[in-house]
Amino acid sequence: MKKVFLLAMFMMSFLTLAACGSKETYVVISKVFDAKSQANNVIELYNTSSEDIALSDYTLRFYSNGEESYSKEINLSRTIEANEYYAVGSVNVLNDDIEDEFDFIYEDGSLPFNGDDVIELAYKDEASDRVGTIGADFMYGRDLTLIRLGELSTFKPTTDYDLFDFINYIPDAFQYLKNNDYEIKTLEDIYAGPQLEDRFKSMSYVSEDDSNLGGGGVVLTTVENIADGDTATFTASGDFEGGGSLRYYYIDTPEVNGAYVDAAPWGYVASKYNKQYLLNDANDKEIYIQSIPNTSIDEGYGRYLGLVWVNGYLSQFLITSEGLTSSVPISYEAYDYILTYKNVPYLTFLRFAEQRAKENSWGMHGYPTDPDGEKAPDWNYSSNTYTTQDPVWEPHLELPWA
């Protein structure tokens, strides 16, 4: 009898939840525009359901600088139509074009967030979706456009924020407000990696204002020598006068034995990947090097700094994807808004690539951080020494030009 009673109670609870099946579960924060000027900040919502939803019981809450209580709350109004967008902007907006897209205008100033403040969507005082982590003060989106990962049909609200639930686009990408016209949407799109856009071929490798700084352009070259996983020597070509050794920007692969450094786990694997997979048969490949805009082209130590493209694909991305570099940067600099593919900074691709390697415990993200993770085939962990300069190893991922 007791079992029958418990079963009946369970079914009643289930039916009650179904009957109350709140429409709030269908409204998500789809984009966050943390604009260069806070006056142009915009929050976009999307209704994933096939029914119109009244927003009178919805609020947006803002938690500032790691606070555990929200400091601002906006009561929304009107209706968000089925499978449609709803844009929230402010009375301070400076961009007339985006103002025309607003469905709600915040009258008390600019929208109160700046890339490290939590944005929460709530329904009848219950949180339903969130960007940022309450109580944590970290920069997840300063001067960036955040677009929720996935196709519209896969959007789901969640209060368990994950940094990789959103794709970081360039700032002020208002051309994507209230539409689905952006091209990098899914993990598959991101894992395909950035490709070299033709616009960089018409840009100068060296800054026109200062020959010590990069202009962001590319130079077609070929390989003279490969030192290790993140350093190679390229022939002189165009603005890359004299040629020389170039260290790969954004990444830092483990060392191999040298005059001033000792080998580290995965060092000879990274070197092998660069030599035998990326830059092998260099004369049969199209290899470009790219400078970093308005950043020194010379690292010192007789080496340049830059990006290396092989057959249109970014070496730094491929190396990061295999887990063969220490942490990539987490902060976006001015040059990251220039170094982009389809308006997504290269750094965004690198961060997703690193995250996948961590999730799979590949390379440097394996053992000993993960006791069950991949072990370096060039290393003896007991004696803490390298075992071979030619480890038996193959990439986890197929090369894009294979």
| Tens digits of residue pLDDT in 305-343 | 999 999 999 999 999 999 999 999 999 999 999 999 999
- Tens digit of each residue's pLDDT (9 = 90 or more) over 92-121: 999 999 999 999 999 999 999 999 999 999
- Do 274 and 134 lie in one domain? The reply is no
Residue 204 shares a structural domain with residue 313:
yes
392 within a domain of the structure (yes/no):
no
Q: What is the pLDDT of residues 240-272, one digit of tens each?
A: 998 999 999 999 999 999 888 999 999 999 999
User: Which residues 6+ apart lie within 8 Å of 273 measured at CB?
Assistant: 229, 319, 322, 324, 393, 395
Which structural domain range is residue 278 located in?
198-386
Same domain as 223, residue 164? no
Contact 283, 198 (CB under 8 A): no
Domain count for the chain, please give it. 2
What is the rounded CA–CA span in Å between residue 285 and residue 393? 23
Question: Is residue 187, in this structure, part of any structural domain at all?
Answer: no
CATH number at residue 252: 2.40.50.90
Query: Does the pLDDT of residue 195 top 90, yes or no?
Result: yes
DSSP annotation of 177 reads T
Position 15 pLDDT exceeds 50 = no
Q: Which two tokens stand for residue 157?
A: 């609200």
Last residue of some domain: 127, 150, 182?
182
- Residues 329, 278 within the same domain: yes
Mean pLDDT value of segment 22-51: 91
Same-domain status, 70 and 104: yes
Q: Which percentage of the chain shows pLDDT scores above 90?
A: 90
- Residue 305 is assigned to a structural domain of this protein: yes
Q: Are residues 115 and 217 in the same domain?
A: no
Tell me if residue 199 falls in helix, strand or coil. Answer: helix
9 within some domain: no
Instruction: Name residues whose C-beta falls within 8 Å of residue 188's C-beta, 6 or more positions apart in sequence.
Output: none
Task: Give 155's pLDDT tier (boundaries 50, 70, 90).
Answer: very high
pLDDT digits (tens, 9 = 90+) for 215-241: 999 999 999 999 999 999 999 999 999
Same domain, 175 and 85: yes
> What's the CATH code of the domain at 90?
2.60.40.1260
**Residue 236 and residue 377 in one domain:** yes
Same domain, 285 and 319: yes
Residues 176, 202, single domain; the answer is no
Handedness of CA 348, 352, 354, 358 (dihedral sign): positive
Same domain for 158 and 274, yes or no, is no
